[in-house]
Amino acid sequence: MKDTHPKFDIVIFGATSFVGQILTRYMLAQFPIEGELKWAIAGRSQNKLNELKQSLGIAGEPLDILVADSADENSLHELCSATRVVISTVGPYALYGEPLVKTCVALGTDYCDLTGEVQWIAKMLEGYEDQAKTTGARIVNSCGFDSLPSDLGVYFLQQHAKQKFGEPCSSIKMRVKKMKGAASGGTVASMTNIFKEVASNPALRKLLANPYAICPPDHGNKVRQDNMNRPQYDNDFNSWLAPFVMAVINTRIVHRSNALVEGGYSPHFEYNEAMLTGKGLMGGGLAAGVGFGLGGFAMAAVIPPTRWAMEKFILPKPGEGPSQDAQEKGFYDLRFYGTTDSGQEIRCKVTGDQDPGYGSTAKMLGQAAACLAQDISKENTPGGFWTPASIFGNQLITRLENHAGLTFEIID
Ligand SMILES: NC(=O)c1ccc[n+]([C@@H]2O[C@H](COP(=O)([O-])OP(=O)(O)OC[C@H]3O[C@@H](n4cnc5c(N)ncnc54)[C@H](OP(=O)(O)O)[C@@H]3O)[C@@H](O)[C@H]2O)c1
């Protein structure tokens, strides 16, 4: 039986991962260890956790350490019993994530993560959603660059559309205007693992192509969505478009939000994402080049010998990622354009002040977990698999603007 007043509010499982270390430093700066919010770090290696703690200096001295391994259910049971919320950065989630979700759901412990693996979320929904509703565990996937800015950007635009026009947008496009950042070994491992799974299980291809793959069965939206996987011209943005690699997860989360937010956005909601590459020959050429590059990467990742060569010689390894300098110089600028059934138009932008995948992601994940622990009561919000927009809404937008370097703004 779980203690009704566990020792910690938040435990970071995977604190020694590339992103977990950035998150730990961010948490220390935001939430002093002996302050109101009680938090601790966890991982599978006591030595690596000790090293991380030492690297934090005097401020990190009171930090508690918990050792737990995804392969050891007893250790996960102890971890989940000791806290109200677990943050997990232990990935690829399809390889290591399920035992923790299973334990959180069994004990009613809240959970948030950084997964971008749609096939794994679909599997967790099938296995644990009903039980989470009875135990009270609130599970919130995809609380990093995938998919917070997209999910909350759409939510933000819909709030303003309803206020201004008295109706929500039935169609929204998200366009990446500018972005600077790089991938870590952990992200690359998660992506190549998806290609491995598809190669051995062709049915997954169908699931990954389904825009409603993680919607509740009764979601009712029958609109044919454009997966934007080829270059095309967008008159609303006056620019060529290239496929955006994160659209595969972001669009699925946004469609799940449409089914879960109070009142829903629209029963025939349309949503897609792409990258702006500019006008004219240059813009068209760039869009074609990005599409070709992504197609080439996907093909090489499906074929075992080329996948092996890429993993060995080209791509970052687990634990590696962009330098501190690259994280600080990174940024993103996302534009949203919505139209309502009666033809009204509205636009907004969402920006982040550090590289999307690590500097900014760590801050978003930390604030999402704090929001879950401090703002979203069990009395008002029952257990289940939520999306960031449907569980956090404006409370997280405010936190992200005040403490995580994001902006949300309606534009002309
Ligand atoms: N949503 C987003 O925007 C976003 C952004 C960044 C990353 N991500 C995702 O976040 C995850 C982490 O990325 P990363 O680059 O930080 O990865 P990473 O550095 O490779 O870290 C993976 C972590 O998993 C831990 N681990 C592996 N097996 C374990 C086990 N059996 N028990 C306990 N821990 C275990 C490792 O422990 P050790 O430290 O002991 O080796 C390590 O801490 C990836 O899945 C990535 O795709 C998502």
- What stretches of 44-101 adopt beta strand conformation (E)? 65-67, 83-88
Q: Are 272 and 247 in contact (CB under 8 A)?
A: yes
| Pairing outcome for strands 239-242 and 270-278 | antiparallel
Q: Is the pLDDT of residue 44 over 70?
A: yes
Q: For the sheet containing 270-278, what is the strand order?
A: 232-234, 239-242, 270-278, 169-180, 331-340, 345-352, 406-411
Q: What is the mean pLDDT of the chain?
A: 93
Q: Is the pLDDT of residue 1 over 70?
A: no
Atom of ligand 1 nearest to the CA of 20: 16
Q: Is the pLDDT of residue 256 over 70?
A: yes
- Helices of type H across 56-117: 73-81, 93-96, 98-107
Cα angle, residue 140 at apex, residues 322 and 403 outer, rounded to 5° = 55
Q: For the sheet containing 83-88, what is the strand order?
A: 65-67, 39-43, 8-13, 83-88, 110-113, 138-140, 384-386
Q: How far apart are CA 365 and CA 60, in angstroms?
A: 20
Q: Is the pLDDT of residue 350 over 70?
A: yes
**Any long-range contacts for 233-238 (C-beta under 8 Å, 24+ apart)?**
233/284, 234/173, 234/175, 234/274, 234/276, 236/173, 236/337, 237/173, 237/175, 237/276, 237/335, 237/337, 238/279
Residue 184 confidence (pLDDT): 73
Q: How far is the CA of 45 from the centre of ligand 1 (A)?
A: 13
**Average pLDDT of span 46-71:** 97
- Containing 112, the helix (H) or strand (E) segment is strand 110-113
The whole-angstrom distance between residue 369's C-alpha and the CA centroid of its chain comes to 12
Q: Is the pLDDT of residue 408 over 90?
A: yes
Q: What is the pLDDT of residues 159-198, one digit of tens each?
A: 999 999 999 999 999 999 999 988 777 777 888 888 888 8
For the chain, counts of helices (H) and of strands (E): 15, 14
Q: What is the pLDDT of residues 285-328, one digit of tens each?
A: 989 888 777 777 777 777 777 777 777 766 777 777 888 898 88
Nearest CA to ligand 1 atom 45: 91
Counting Cα atoms < 13 Å in the Cβ hemisphere of 21 gives 20
**Average pLDDT of span 370-387:** 97
In this prediction, what percent of the chain has a pLDDT beyond 70? 99
| Pairing outcome for strands 110-113 and 138-140 | parallel
pTM, to two decimals = 0.95
Q: How far apart are CA 355 and CA 364, in angstroms?
A: 12
Q: How far apart are CA 188 and CA 222, in angstroms?
A: 33
Phi and psi at 291, nearest 5°, equal -60, -45
Q: How far apart are CA 97 and CA 20, in angstroms?
A: 15
Q: Is the pLDDT of residue 94 over 70?
A: yes
Q: Which residues contact 50 (CB under 8 A, 6 or more apart)?
A: 65
Q: Is the pLDDT of residue 154 over 80?
A: yes
Residue 30 confidence (pLDDT): 97
Atom of ligand 1 nearest to the CA of 69: 32
For the record, the structure tokens of 295 come out as 């197609």
Whole-number CA gyration radius for the chain: 21
Question: Collapsing DSSP states into helix, strand and coil, what is residue 142?
Answer: coil
The whole-angstrom distance between residue 411's C-alpha and the CA centroid of its chain comes to 25
Nearest CA to ligand 1 atom 43: 17
Using CB distances shorter than 6 Å, the residues near ligand 1 are 14, 16-20, 43-45, 48, 69-71, 89-93, 96, 114, 116, 142, 144-146, 184-187, 190, 318-319, 321, 357, 361
Q: How far is the CA of 352 from the centre of ligand 1 (A)?
A: 22
Residue 214 vs residues 93, 123, 250, 265, 286: alpha-carbon distances, Å: 16, 9, 11, 17, 32
**Confidence label for 339 from pLDDT (cuts 50, 70 and 90):** very high
Residue 200 confidence (pLDDT): 85
Q: How far apart are CA 146 and CA 194, in angstroms?
A: 16
Of the listed ranges 122-126, 279-283, 294-298, 399-403, the one predicted with least confidence = 294-298
